[in-house]
Structure 1
């Protein structure tokens, strides 16, 4: 038996995505353009931006009226008050504020800068536009997976990813915000290590590892490769969600 092989394919020819676009056919067309056919066990990884665009999560700042709280916070962090208003609308708790930095706990549980709201790689069309995260990325991943399984007959997984900063480390890294068809968090407790010793605490952030691998092929700037196929990932097959990766507040060592 040969060594396990992991392949990562950035799919070609993905068009610019507009509100209302059906991502299932877009993915299948990109697979065809790359000479690829879905197989059981494949993982399709999508950049958050194309999911948010398809779901109409782009908001022109011209229509945003900042509250007094947003204006005050904008002065403290040196940001557009309209953008801060959108950030607050997506936020359960403001964690840290510094000039140029606004760290929040998103309504979905993520701790990240600016509630994941981004203005890069978005067509501003003459006026500033902000792109919000999908309303429910796990549900988005499940709907896309259902469409792919129905169209191809292959048992595949879908992961939606974004780029997050990490506590005590510089730089951003691909992180799963939506997942379907595979475990988000893989529990390895009770399995043996190399020497037969039973693992007692090991839990693998599987969807995040998939996200980081796919992010290498996607790029972070103008590469234009928002859909990636991972093939050969060994993972426990079960229904799962990216929400599994969010540590409950009562277990948070640094609240």
Structure 2
């Protein structure tokens, strides 16, 4: 049995996922993380993870394309061998897309895309990876504050994230015999390039979020990455089937 842990993080080349990979590296956790198209940014994360204390391997994956998962699992097998193990310990289903559609404007194609990435992708990628996961491992799914509070233009995204929270509890029940704990992290608005960078780059939006947040500012990736890394550790071994909102107290 290896003396180090291995994590798989989807969407690890940017934003919250990037910070999670680096926080895991600081803990000595080796990572296999995915990116969709930007190999250059993924390579930067690989270099930063090595500097932080642990190797990381970047693999391309579109989490909305479940037909590609079998091939991805074979890539994971090879990556694990490169890291010196046959199985992994932690999974963070982080990759995602945004939507600003309203009830009147959302299309079936847009809703299908949200479902494929955020729900179907999480469900079936986890299913495909489970044979490679060690018993006693940990899974973190990513939801959103929008699963708890509502606002115009988030009807598809917020609703599908609420479904992810229900999925998390069912995963925790079914994986209990293997002692695999499953939790969900729900970030509030985070200043990244997500959703066109609206929180990071629009001063009016950023200020409005700060005014509705108890701690007085919008979130940053480094607010969320440590929480994911923490929940993927043995230190939180008795936390299971829980929703952890990381939002500075927005809309309390």
- Range into which the TM-score falls when normalised by the shorter chain: 0.3 to 0.5
Higher strand share: 1
Normalising by structure 1, what TM-score? 0.34
User: Using CA pairs below 8 Å that are at least 6 residues apart, which structure has the higher relative contact order?
Assistant: 1
Q: If the length of structure 2 is used for normalisation, what is the TM-score? A: 0.34
**Highest CA radius of gyration, 1 or 2?**
1
Name the structure with the higher helix share: 2
